[in-house]
């Protein structure tokens, strides 16, 4: 039987396991990336492993999430990451050099290689034909140390594209259409491969918009073939030698196939507060929705192509009085090329506020909307509260739709007379001044790693006991995101290496008293619905609950990265055998689960709900744990397991 692109890359990197859907496979990892918000923890974990130098082909530490340096905390984190990178053979991308995913595919990504990153949008690299996967910081630390990276072998989903995009419709609308069809749960357990005659006209930057937002499908990753488009892009980056062809076999089999005719697509938006709440712009425009803010950038839509499109729509015009417009170029390369060709001037003259090349508003670092304000963003997530304004109304749109709204002040169907091909210049401006090479092995031996006072120790982990008896401290609904569990934003991000401080904000948007109640109880359980922990890869969404005494989470289903992070932190993820049993347990009740050691052998247990000292309900629960993960739980988390 023929193979899909992803299966070929997995087969070429297989260190452990069998390529049967659902079984764990251990992969050799060629490249890793971290960003600052997850990087401090990842490097503390890496240091604790005692490996002097990374064993990957390329590891890069980016500073892009929090570049504000509003106090010493953030600046200390940057110093720490720079010094730890220099010492251990890791390249360092300075603050201001750009968003990790954008810079990585421009300067480092290679078709056919494996990449894991401590950021859920790492699959962006799939647009270049990489097998690029988001992971928790601990998994990235282990991969830097040369260890395999484990995932359940995914099923394969093909998205067959035909036709060509109409003017004013772009790559963002393609992925929004996929989200509309599949929802934020639809990709769970799959790798999404794009194929069909419609892909040949999509440039690498457009492909990267699509693979980037594949994260919102819950997919393990998304991937495009490496073809002539890929070669053109790499040559323009001065990296033609990195190109190799990559395609699926004609008889490759997919577990699921969906088809989209690109010529039938119209501009779309994901409406508040979920990336799959997708509606046509024409319908929203008819409602006359007034727009307060427009943000263009993020790892989804901050390429040179995107910036040039927006600049051409704004050139010689002025943005609406009621709108505040921000532009964050994705990388220093994009920024300098915008300056060189005059597009930057067009944007400034039209009234845009130009921000640093960083995540910025996407992660709530400034530019929060006014109360109840409508914000159109070219980003990938519009979860409740993520913008920093709880009642902010965030719509996710294409750069064209964003620019049209900036001009009229209302949600407006973008009118572009043609799909001008701004795509790949013959050569990109190559200037890697924002990247610092690691020290050589000799110099590294005596180099110092600088740790400021904001960097606090890793929380204590517990090895799994035979019995858990604890209160349900919190019961939540379906689709709880890591932004609910561990919010980000300007106030909190400086404390990503300070778990005790962070813990005060755990579940703040859902239930501000959670942290105090959990701490007072000493130990606890969380009950969740479907797709618990979707969104970001931040392991803080597991480490902070661990610090607050959470021993188990029982949910209808889990998002992949979060489930792995829970296990790595030593928290037991349990799944309701019958989702209807969710209704049989209430917040405040006590849950008792005994015989866990035996339960581990067949991945089953029974949770007894205790009411006034009596058993109120007996709920069968299951574990979806590989043998390795059971050992991790018994050892008290991945770090202890690795040390053993
Ligand atoms: C995000 O988009 O939510 C983030 C911030 O990039 C996260 C990582 C983090 O929380 O640090 C992600 O997507 O993994
Ligand atoms: Fe940064 Fe936003 Fe991309 Fe996350 S989604 S990496 S915060 S730009």
Tens digits of residue pLDDT in 325-358: 999 999 999 999 999 999 999 999 999 999 999 9
Q: Whose CA is nearest to atom 10 of ligand 1?
A: 538
Q: What is the pLDDT of residue 207?
A: 98
Please, which pLDDT band fits residue 425 given cuts at 50, 70 and 90?
Answer: confident
- The two three-digit tokens of residue 90, written as one number: 């890791």
DSSP for residue 226: B
Question: pLDDT by residue (tens digit) across 351-385?
Answer: 999 999 999 999 999 999 999 999 999 999 999 99
How many Cα atoms are found within 13 Å in the side-chain-facing hemisphere of 584?
20
The rounded Å distance from CA 380 to ligand 2 centre is 8
Q: Please state the pTM of the whole predicted model.
A: 0.97
Q: Whose CA is nearest to atom 2 of ligand 2?
A: 362
Q: Which residues line ligand 1 (CB under 6 A)?
A: 37-38, 65, 119-121, 134, 363, 381, 488, 535-538
The rounded Å distance from CA 63 to ligand 2 centre is 12
For residue 423, pLDDT beyond 60? no
State the Rg of the chain over Cα. 24
What φ, ψ does residue 534 adopt, rounded to 5°?
-65, 165
Residue found under tokens 């008896």: 469
Question: pLDDT by residue (tens digit) across 555-585?
Answer: 999 999 999 999 999 999 999 999 999 999 9
Please name every residue paired with 158 in a beta bridge, in sequence order, or none if there are none: 193, 257
The rounded Å distance from CA 505 to ligand 1 centre is 16
Q: Which residue has the higher pLDDT, 181 or 419?
A: 181
- The two three-digit tokens of residue 426, written as one number: 């013959």
342: left (phi over 0), alpha (psi -120 to 50) or beta: left
For residue 417, pLDDT beyond 80? no
The rounded Å distance from CA 362 to ligand 2 centre is 6
**Residue 368 to residues 99, 276, 372, 387, 394: CA-CA distances in angstroms?**
19, 22, 11, 5, 10
Question: pLDDT by residue (tens digit) across 543-552?
Answer: 999 999 999 9
Residue found under tokens 């990790």: 100
Instruction: Select from 607, 622, 603, 472 the least CA-distant residue to 557.
Output: 622
Q: What is the pLDDT of residue 422?
A: 60
Q: Provide the 3-class DSSP secondary structure of residue 66.
A: coil
Tell me the catalytic residues: 64-65, 119, 381, 536, 538
Burial of 95 (0-12, 13-18, 19+ CB in 10 A): buried
CA distance 240 to 233: 8
Atom from ligand 1 closest to the CA of residue 215:
13
Least confidently predicted of 23-27, 188-192, 459-463, 527-531: 459-463
Mutational test site, ligand 1, from 124, 499, 536, max ligand atoms within 8 Å of CB: 536
Instruction: Select from 116, 124, 109, 105 the least CA-distant residue to 141.
Output: 116
Instruction: Select from 575, 571, 569 the least CA-distant residue to 538.
Output: 569
pLDDT > 90 fraction of the chain, expressed in percent and rounded: 95
What φ, ψ does residue 581 adopt, rounded to 5°?
-65, -15
Atom from ligand 1 closest to the CA of residue 362:
2
Q: Whose CA is nearest to atom 1 of ligand 2?
A: 359
* Ligand closest to the CA atom of residue 488: 1
How many Cα atoms are found within 13 Å in the side-chain-facing hemisphere of 142?
19
Question: pLDDT by residue (tens digit) across 39-86?
Answer: 999 999 999 999 999 999 999 999 999 999 999 999 999 999 999 999
Mutational test site, ligand 2, from 34, 39, 121, max ligand atoms within 8 Å of CB: 121
CA distance 397 to 416: 15
Q: Do the strands 435-436 and 24-27 form a parallel or antiparallel pair, or are they unpaired?
A: unpaired
Residue found under tokens 């106030």: 491
Residue found under tokens 């055998």: 577
DSSP states along 230-258: HHHHHHHTT-GGG---B---TTB--SEEE
């Amino acid at each position: 039987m023929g193979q899909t692109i992803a299966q070929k890359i997995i087969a070429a990197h297989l260190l452990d396991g069998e390529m049967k859907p659902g079984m764990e496979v251990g992969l050799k990892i060629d490249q890793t990336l971290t960003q600052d918000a997850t990087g401090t923890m990842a490097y503390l974990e890496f240091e604790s492993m005692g490996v002097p130098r990374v064993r990957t082909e390329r590891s890069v530490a980016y500073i892009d999430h929090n570049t504000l340096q509003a106090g010493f905390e953030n600046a200390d984190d940057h110093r720490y990451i720079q010094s730890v990178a220099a010492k251990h053979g890791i390249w360092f991308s300075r603050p201001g050099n750009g968003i990790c995913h954008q810079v990585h595919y421009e300067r480092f990504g290679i078709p056919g290689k494996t990449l894991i990153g401590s950021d859920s949008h790492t699959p962006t690299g799939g647009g270049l034909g990489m097998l690029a996967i988001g992971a928790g910081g601990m998994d990235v630390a282990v991969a830097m140390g040369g260890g395999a990276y484990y995932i359940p072998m995914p099923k394969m989903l093909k998205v067959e594209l035909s036709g060509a995009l109409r003017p004013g419709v772009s790559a963002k609308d393609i992925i929004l259409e996929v989200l509309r069809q599949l929802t934020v749960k639809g990709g769970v357990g799959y790798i999404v491969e794009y194929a069909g005659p419609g892909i040949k006209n999509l440039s690498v930057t457009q492909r990267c918009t699509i693979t980037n937002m594949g994260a919102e499908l819950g997919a393990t990753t998304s991937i495009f073939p490496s073809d002539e488009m890929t070669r053109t892009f790499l040559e323009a980056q001065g990296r033609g030698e990195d190109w190799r062809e990559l395609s699926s076999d004609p008889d490759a089999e997919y577990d699921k196939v969906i088809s989209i005719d690109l010529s039938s697509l119209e501009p779309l938006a994901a409406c508040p507060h979920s990336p799959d709440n997708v509606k046509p712009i024409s319908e929203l425009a008819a409602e006359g929705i007034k727009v307060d803010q427009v943000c263009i950038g993020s790892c989804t839509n901050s390429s040179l192509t995107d910036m040039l499109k927006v600049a051409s729509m704004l050139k010689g015009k002025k943005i609406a009085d009621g709108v505040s417009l921000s532009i964050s170029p994705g990388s220093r390369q994009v920024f300098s090329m915008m300056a060189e060709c005059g597009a930057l001037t067009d944007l400034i003259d039209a009234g845009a506020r130009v921000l640093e090349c960083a995540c910025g508003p996407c992660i709530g670092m400034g530019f929060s909307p006014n109360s109840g304000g409508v914000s159109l963003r070219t980003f990938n997530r519009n979860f409740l509260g993520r913008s920093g304004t709880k009642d902010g109304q965030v719509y996710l749109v294409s750069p064209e739709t964003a620019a049209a709204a900036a001009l009229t002040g209302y949600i407006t169907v973008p009118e572009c007379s043609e799909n001008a091909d701004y795509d790949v210049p013959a050569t990109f401006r190559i200037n890697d001044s924002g990247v610092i090479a690691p020290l050589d092995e000799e110099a590294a031996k005596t180099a110092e790693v600088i740790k400021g006072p904001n960097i606090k120790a890793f929380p204590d982990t517990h090895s799994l006991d035979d019995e858990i008896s604890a209160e349900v401290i919190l019961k939540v609904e379906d689709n709880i995101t890591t932004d609910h569990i561990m919010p980000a934003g300007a106030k909190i991000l400086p404390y990503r290496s300070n778990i005790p401080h962070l813990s005060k904000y755990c579940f703040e948007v859902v239930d501000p008293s959670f942290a105090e109640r959990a701490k007072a109880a000493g130990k606890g359980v969380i009950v969740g619905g479907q797709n618990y922990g979707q969104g970001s890869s931040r392991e803080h969404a597991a480490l902070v609950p661990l610090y607050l005494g959470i021993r188990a989470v029982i949910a209808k289903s889990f998002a992949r990265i979060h489930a792995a992070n829970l296990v790595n932190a030593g928290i037991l993820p349990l799944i309701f055998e019958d989702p209807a049993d969710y209704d049989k347990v209430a917040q405040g009740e006590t849950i008792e689960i005994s015989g866990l050691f035996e339960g581990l052998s067949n991945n089953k247990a029974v949770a007894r709900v205790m009411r006034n000292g009596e058993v109120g309900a007996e709920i069968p629960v299951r574990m979806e744990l590989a043998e390795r993960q059971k050992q991790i739980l018994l050892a008290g988390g991945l770090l202890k397991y690795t040390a053993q």
